[in-house]
Amino acid sequence: MNKLIVALTLGAASLALSGQALASGNAANGAELAKKYNCASCHGADYKTPIDPSYPKLAGQHADYLVHALTAYKRGTKAANGRNNPIMAGMAQPLSDRDMADIAAYLQGLPAALVTKR
Could you tell me the residue range of the domain that residue 76 belongs to? 27-109
Structural domain contains residue 1? no
State how many domains the chain has: 1
At 116 the pLDDT is 62
Q: Residues 74-111, buried b or exposed e (16+ Cβ, 10 A)?
A: bbbeeeeeebeeeebbebbeebeeebbbbbbbbbbebe
Backbone angles phi, psi at 75, to 5 degrees: -65, -35
Residue 69 lies inside a defined structural domain of this protein = yes
| CATH number of 63's domain | 1.10.760.10
- The total number of residues shown for the chain amounts to 118
The list of the chain residues with pLDDT below 50 reads 6, 8, 13-22
- Give a yes or no: residue 18 inside a domain: no
Please tell me the predicted confidence (pLDDT) of residue 79.
73
pLDDT confidence of residue 3: 61
Domain assignment present for 115: no
Burial of 51 (0-12, 13-18, 19+ CB in 10 A): exposed
CA distance 65 to 116: 13
- Whether residue 82 lies inside any domain: the answer is yes
pLDDT tens per residue across span 67-84: 999 999 999 987 777 898
Q: What is the pLDDT of residue 110?
A: 96
Q: What is the pLDDT of residue 19?
A: 42
For residue 81, being part of any structural domain is answered with yes
